[in-house]
Amino acid sequence: MNFPKNLSDKLETRRQNKSLRILPQPNDLIDFSSNDYIGFSKSEAIFNATHQFLLDYNIKRNGATGSRLISGNHILYTETENYIAQFHQAESALLFNSGYDANVGFFSSVPHKGDLILYDELCHASIRDGIQLSNAKSYKFKHNDFEDLELLIQRCYAERSRSTLLNEIYIVTESVFSMDGDCPNMEELVAVSEKHNCYLVVDEAHALGVFGGKGEGLIQHLQLQDKIFARVMTFGKGLGCHGAVILGSNELKSYLVNFARSFIYTTGLSPHSVATILMGYHHLEKDKIALESLRENIVFFNQVKKMLYLSPLFVRSKSAIQSVIIPGNEKVKSIANALQQNGFDVKAILSPTVPEGQERLRFCIHSYNTKEDITKVLTLLSSFVY
């Protein structure tokens, strides 16, 4: 069958740049690549609790049967959203099918023509895609650079004085950045937002299960939840399952139910998926061992990389994501392959996923990694880069 030449050319360009993506095969290597930070995706306790919960509720349905506005709003949604809102000290919670759906739904519907979106230049692709669907103007500010952000805001005020079109300003960031693993100074960002009467939106995808006494995320860990207009929590990382939630006011929830197209025009999550989310949260409240083991391993990883003089190569991070910069797609792929051949599942992140020259190995730390494995993988890395 014929295939369009322009599409073939794009694939060939990827091959030439050593950046062609292929689906990896399952492996039994030591995990330093997944987002399963506290091992919940493999938890038999959560699996069994979900099964028993469905039996206790006499729920024997495989699917939602339709969108939540038609036939898919089964009883578990209400219980789960209420529980999540209470857990995260938010007025309301609205479940989405994925973090991508949540971000696209929010940013395509909430900011309007005449509004302005100011987002960190390293924000996730799902945020950028949602912004592209919005009718609002958008500008990126330098990564975690709030002086640059304030300059943008001042420019906005100057535009506002010349026009009646500029209404609201939304500031967008992540509490843990997915490629660098670093965190913004949230207290400073909140101060900037309040100073200029902006609405602050924070994606906490990689903070859930990592920060806070109960793994509730960085915003609650810093007691800033009442200062944030909207928080996005996704469940495919720390919670080990699937789906996402937007936390905010009751009015925001009502607005999203009415105008977020990725919520309105899709089949809802199955009862089993929603029950897994709920049981994951129950487990998060009581599983202190996994949370503490993860934090100990993050500290240990940073200590070993310092001992091996690797710290200058890494992006500074105290999260579960640790990235070592190794410029060049071919070079970083070869080192990743060498680590994999030695039994460690470490993935190379290539351009164009990250900017050219910022190619990297992305280590994800887990509660179940052993200190021996951490020491060995970093010792191997040292032998390959020095």
The string of pLDDT tens digits covering residues 131-154 is: 999 999 999 999 999 999 999 999
DSSP characters over 16-39: HTT----PPPP--SEESS-S-TTS
pLDDT at 158 over 80: no
Residue 197: what pLDDT?
A: 94
Across the strands, what pairs with 384?
none
Q: Tell me if 93 sits within 8 A of 84, measured CB to CB.
A: yes
Angle between helices 250-259 and 99-109 (to 10 degrees): 90
Residue 160: what pLDDT?
A: 66
State the average pLDDT over residues 5-26. 91
Residue 1: what pLDDT?
A: 84
Report the mean per-residue pLDDT for the chain: 95
- Residue-wise pLDDT for 20-50, tens only, equals 889 988 899 999 999 999 999 999 999 999 9
Domains of the chain: 27-42+288-385 (3.90.1150.10), 61-286 (3.40.640.10)
| Exposure on the CB side of residue 22, measured as CA atoms within 13 A | 5
- Residue-wise pLDDT for 324-365, tens only, equals 999 999 999 999 999 999 999 999 999 988 999 999 999 999
pLDDT at 189 over 80: yes
Pairing of strands 244-248, 199-203: unpaired
Residue 167: what pLDDT?
A: 86
* Residue 208 structure tokens: 């859930």
Please tell me whether the peptide bond between 111 and the residue prior to it is cis, using omega within 30 degrees of 0. no
pLDDT at 165 over 80: no
pLDDT at 17 over 90: no
Dihedral pair phi/psi, residue 245, rounded to 5°:
-140, 145
Residue 162: what pLDDT?
A: 61
Residue 161: pLDDT band by 50, 70, 90 thresholds?
low
Residue 24: what pLDDT?
A: 87
Residue 164: what pLDDT?
A: 57
CB atoms within 10 A of CB 277: 26
**Beta sheet of 92-96, edge-to-edge order:** 92-96, 244-248, 230-234, 199-203, 169-174, 116-120, 137-141
